[in-house]
């Protein structure tokens, strides 16, 4: 059965009912908008006057939806026909929203638990059985659905669910994100890593972007999106907005240029080993400047700190620039690098010193980012010379992760090995036919 969408009159009921709510009594178990007495007044008011026929229509729709066919989601590409009885993800999501709101209102007005159970069953079905929850430019499976299903979903009869046990380090490949934290929930710090397709209509040009938080403070954030102007989804004009562009993300520019719309990227990992977890973001061939190899490695060491390795090989000599945005303060670090601080927490961003003295051949500066709607600073780490090969390691040292953040960071080439020292830790990458691969973490004591 195809259900009818909520009509404006039904939305009017929701607004009218909200106007009937009263402030919750502090001594009663809280509801969001009203206490038990307010709920009774709301139910009684909905049966009178102009609200009565609207309530009847909503309850009738809820009753029909109880026997409606489940929403089935197609994974065909945009513009391709869907199998019979299936819908594109966005259309299915809109219908799901209508069903859940209708069941929720029916339960609120009637107190009948069958409507509450139906709302929970709809959500459980969507999370556990929909093959995709994103634009079909991204490929299934949809990771949160798999986690939900593995955890048992919702027990609709009891109206309860098991808490999701998401691992502290987790990849979500279909949406191109990875989360690296020492613990969950409420991690003391985390780094989020982005890679994936640039083909979706809503995408940002953000391959190999990182976001860094300590506690509840986003020290190195993703800027998000501004209130949508009229041309925000014009394919050409939209990409010129700062927060959409590569320059507006915490990633790499090559030759002063950003990434090209509709190019693919790949998130590899997690790669697990003794004392580390690693990911690789592959953005080969995804830049306006011809760059056969553009990769960022993220290594999480001992659940204490991170090391980024940017492996960039443009076809012609070019500059590169690492960018990090913050709403906090940025100050030079006495031992080299920079400290980003805000709300009593901080993180150090420390480019490795290359044997010979310079910080990976980078020149650092802090500037006000132009083009964003809110004042924000950008730390720019730009190569001193143009080249066709860059290997730049940057240690990310959260204030909640290391007791001693005064450690030195250096890198050196040893044949096919790239060696990066962070204090007493040694990280080793080895070059193979497909570029560098992370191999191991050791310590000075173990190397004696």
Q: What is the pLDDT of residues 12-63, one digit of tens each?
A: 444 444 444 444 444 555 556 677 777 788 888 888 888 899 999 999 999 9
264, part of any domain:
yes
Q: Name residues whose C-beta falls within 8 Å of residue 158's C-beta, 6 or more positions apart in sequence.
A: none
Q: What is the pLDDT of residues 270-311, one digit of tens each?
A: 999 999 999 999 999 999 999 999 999 999 999 999 999 999
Pairing assessment for the beta strands 409-414 and 390-398 based on DSSP bridges: unpaired
Range of the domain at 128: 8-161
What is each CA distance from 107 to 39, 103, 132, 436, in whole angstroms? 12, 6, 29, 57
370, part of any domain:
yes
- Whether the pLDDT of residue 5 is over 80: the answer is no
Tell me: do 110 and 258 sit in the same domain: no
SS3 392: strand
* Half-sphere exposure for 170 (CA within 13 Å, toward CB): 15
At 139 the pLDDT is 57
Which of 116, 140, 161 is at the close of a domain? 161
What is d(CA 392, CA 371) in angstroms, rounded to the nearest whole number? 28
Residue 258 in tokens: 């950003």
Which of 107, 134, 161 is at the close of a domain? 161
Tell me: do 188 and 292 sit in the same domain: yes
Please state, rounded to an integer, the average pLDDT across all residues of the chain. Answer: 86
For residue 268, the cross-strand partners are: 280
Tell me: do 182 and 101 sit in the same domain: no
What is d(CA 210, CA 198) in angstroms, rounded to the nearest whole number? 16
At 143 the pLDDT is 53
| Banded pLDDT at 227 (limits 50, 70, 90) | confident
What is d(CA 276, CA 304) in angstroms, rounded to the nearest whole number? 10
Tell me: do 130 and 272 sit in the same domain: no
Q: What is the pLDDT of residues 341-384, one digit of tens each?
A: 999 999 999 999 876 556 668 999 999 999 999 999 999 999 99
Q: What is the pLDDT of residues 264-281, one digit of tens each?
A: 999 999 999 999 999 999
Tell me: do 292 and 416 sit in the same domain: yes
Residue carrying the six token digits 């994100």: 177
Closest CA to 61 of 23, 139, 118: 118
Q: What is the mean pLDDT of residues 193-197?
A: 92
Which of 107, 128, 161 is at the close of a domain? 161
CB 284 within 8 A of CB 297: no
Tell me: do 177 and 138 sit in the same domain: no
Range of lowest pLDDT (159-173, 236-250, 328-342): 159-173
Pairing assessment for the beta strands 189-194 and 177-180 based on DSSP bridges: antiparallel
- Whether the pLDDT of residue 235 is over 50: the answer is yes
| Banded pLDDT at 432 (limits 50, 70, 90) | very high
Which long-range contacts (C-beta less than 8 Å, at least 24 apart) are formed by 22-25? Answer: none
Phi, psi of 171 (to 5 degrees): -100, 140
Tell me: do 205 and 128 sit in the same domain: no
Q: Beta-strand (E) ranges in 227-292? A: 252-254, 266-273, 276-282
Tell me: do 41 and 24 sit in the same domain: yes
1, part of any domain:
no
At 35 the pLDDT is 76
3, part of any domain:
no
At 333 the pLDDT is 92
What is each CA distance from 255 to 247, 271, 293, in whole angstroms? 12, 31, 14
394, part of any domain:
yes
| Banded pLDDT at 6 (limits 50, 70, 90) | very low
Pairing assessment for the beta strands 72-73 and 276-282 based on DSSP bridges: unpaired
Tell me: do 390 and 247 sit in the same domain: yes
Tell me: do 152 and 189 sit in the same domain: no
Tell me: do 219 and 245 sit in the same domain: yes
2, part of any domain:
no
Output the domain CATH number for residue 392. 2.70.98.70
Q: What is the pLDDT of residues 97-150, one digit of tens each?
A: 999 999 999 998 998 999 999 999 999 998 888 887 766 666 555 555 555 555
What is d(CA 159, CA 16) in angstroms, rounded to the nearest whole number? 27
Q: What is the pLDDT of residues 201-218, one digit of tens each?
A: 778 999 999 999 999 999
Specify the number of domains making up the chain: 2
At 14 the pLDDT is 47
Tell me: do 210 and 242 sit in the same domain: yes
């Amino acid at each position: 059965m195809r259900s009818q969408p909520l009509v404006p009159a039904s939305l009017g009921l929701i607004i009218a009912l909200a106007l009937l709510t009263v402030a919750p009594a502090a001594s009663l178990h809280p509801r969001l908008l009203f206490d038990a007495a307010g709920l009774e007044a709301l139910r009684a008011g909905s049966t009178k006057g102009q609200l009565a026929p609207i309530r009847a229509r909503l309850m009738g729709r809820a009753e029909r939806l109880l026997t409606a066919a489940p929403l089935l989601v197609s994974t065909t590409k945009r513009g391709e026909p869907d199998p019979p009885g299936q819908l594109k993800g966005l259309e299915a999501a809109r219908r799901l929203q209508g069903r859940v709101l209708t069941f929720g209102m029916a339960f609120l007005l009637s107190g009948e638990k069958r409507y509450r159970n139906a709302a929970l069953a709809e959500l459980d079905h969507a999370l556990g059985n929909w093959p995709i929850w994103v634009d079909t430019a991204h490929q299934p499976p949809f990771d949160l659905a798999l986690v939900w299903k593995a955890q048992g979903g919702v027990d609709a009869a009891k109206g309860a669910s098991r808490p999701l046990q998401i691992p502290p380090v987790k990849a979500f490949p279909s949406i191109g994100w990875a989360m690296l934290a020492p613990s969950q929930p409420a991690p003391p710090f985390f780094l989020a890593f982005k890679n994936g397709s640039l083909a979706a209509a809503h995408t940002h040009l953000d391959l190999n972007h990182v976001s860094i938080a300590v506690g509840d403070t986003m020290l190195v954030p993703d800027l998000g999106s501004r209130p949508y102007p009229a041309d925000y989804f014009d394919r050409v004009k939209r990409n010129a907005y700062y927060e959409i562009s590569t320059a507006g993300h915490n990633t790499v520019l090559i030759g002063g240029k950003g990434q090209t719309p509709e190019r693919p990227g790949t998130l590899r990992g997690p790669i697990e080993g003794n004392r580390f977890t690693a990911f690789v973001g592959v953005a080969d061939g995804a830049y306006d400047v011809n760059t056969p190899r553009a990769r960022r490695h993220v290594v999480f060491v001992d659940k204490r700190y991170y090391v980024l390795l940017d492996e960039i090989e443009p076809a012609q000599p070019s500059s590169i620039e690492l960018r990090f945005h913050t709403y906090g303060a940025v100050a030079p670090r006495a031992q080299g690098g920079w400290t980003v601080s805000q709300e009593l927490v901080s993180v150090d961003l420390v480019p490795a010193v290359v044997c010979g003295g310079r910080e990976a051949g980078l020149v650092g500066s802090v500037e006000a980012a132009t083009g964003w709607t809110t004042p924000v600073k950008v730390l720019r780490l730009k190569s001193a010379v143009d080249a066709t090969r860059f290997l730049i390691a940057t240690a990310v040292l959260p204030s909640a992760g290391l007791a001693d953040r005064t450690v030195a960071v250096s890198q050196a080439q040893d044949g096919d090995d790239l060696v990066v020292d962070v204090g007493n830790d040694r990280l080793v990458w080895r070059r193979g036919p497909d570029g560098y691969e992370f191999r191991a973490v050791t310590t000075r004591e173990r190397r004696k």
